[in-house]
Structure 1
């Protein structure tokens, strides 16, 4: 009985050391010889940093075009439909505004203000969703072949 307890403890300790080495090794190997460049006033903002191209294998490209792009397009469409829905659609801007008016009528101004802010923020998401949809469509037209072509 004693040997199995010690064996388990050694196995757990060895596993912990191995996991620790797996985490620490990439950090130790990372190249830190070049110091970061100091920010300059003429440098573009961080959001304007160019993005490196990504190379996909044919299998990965097929998975992206066959699985991910349609799922993301459907998700963006469903979110847009929900946001633009009527007052009876939970999560829509109209629903949040109706709930805000109801809370204001009951005298709960803090809750009404929170609901109104949520409605305003959700309305601003429409432009982000349309940008994402246009990017997905552009990617699909540029990189995804129709089912009948090779």
Structure 2
């Protein structure tokens, strides 16, 4: 084959991929037209494959079981958020980025980062609230004999 008619390997692979996709679509089109419609009544229509039964309890046993892990996740997240400007994900680091954007005159970037900063500060409050709620849950679990591992 003359060198003039050869495609570079990247373009060749792209062309082959396009041809394969077109062939697959053409082959699937008649099959899709021939497929029967789903029944509109009966047991298959009443329940979808992802439907779950309605809960019968509040999941207290599993909440108590996962309590130490959940407390650890909350503590780690709050430590990260409350870290200084050298900690990735901290409020202080994002505040520094906002200040840098303002100093550079990047008003659109500053606006975007201020929105993220507002959400991150709200997240700190939410996580502190959840941490307090978890202390109450831990007390409840201990009182009802549903401590970790039970």
Kindly provide the CA deviation profile for residues 10-65 of structure 1, in whole angstroms up to 9, marking residues without a partner as x: 7x957x97542225xx9xxxxxxxxxxxxxxxxxxxxxxxxxxx845xxx544321
Residue ranges of structure 2 left out of the alignment (5+ in a row)? 1-30
Q: In structure 2, do the counterparts of structure 1 residues 136 and 97 end up closer, same or farther at CA, with 3 Å as the change threshold?
A: same
2:87 counterpart residue number? 89
Query: Given the two structures, how large is their TM-score scaled by the length of structure 2?
Result: 0.56
Task: Give the alignment partner of residue 22 of structure 1, picking from 47, 60, 75.
Answer: 47
* Distance in 2, Cα, partners of 1:70 & 1:19: 41
Give runs of ≥4 in structure 1 deviating > 4 Å: none
Q: Which has the higher contact order (CA 8 A, sep 6+)?
A: 2
Q: In structure 2, do the counterparts of structure 1 residues 87 and 17 end up closer, same or farther at CA, with 3 Å as the change threshold?
A: farther
Task: Give the alignment partner of residue 115 of structure 2, picking from 114, 117, 142.
Answer: 117
Residue ranges of structure 1 left out of the alignment (5+ in a row)? 27-53
Query: Given the two structures, how large is their TM-score scaled by the length of structure 1?
Result: 0.56
Q: In structure 2, do the counterparts of structure 1 residues 21 and 92 end up closer, same or farther at CA, with 3 Å as the change threshold?
A: same
Task: Give the alignment partner of residue 129 of structure 2, picking from 113, 128, 131.
Answer: 131
Q: Which moved more, 1:123-132 or 1:77-86?
A: 123-132
2:13 counterpart residue number? none
State how 1:136-147 maps to structure 2 within 5 Å.
136-144=134-142, 145=145, 146=147
Shift of the alpha carbon at 1:124?
2.5
2:11 counterpart residue number? none
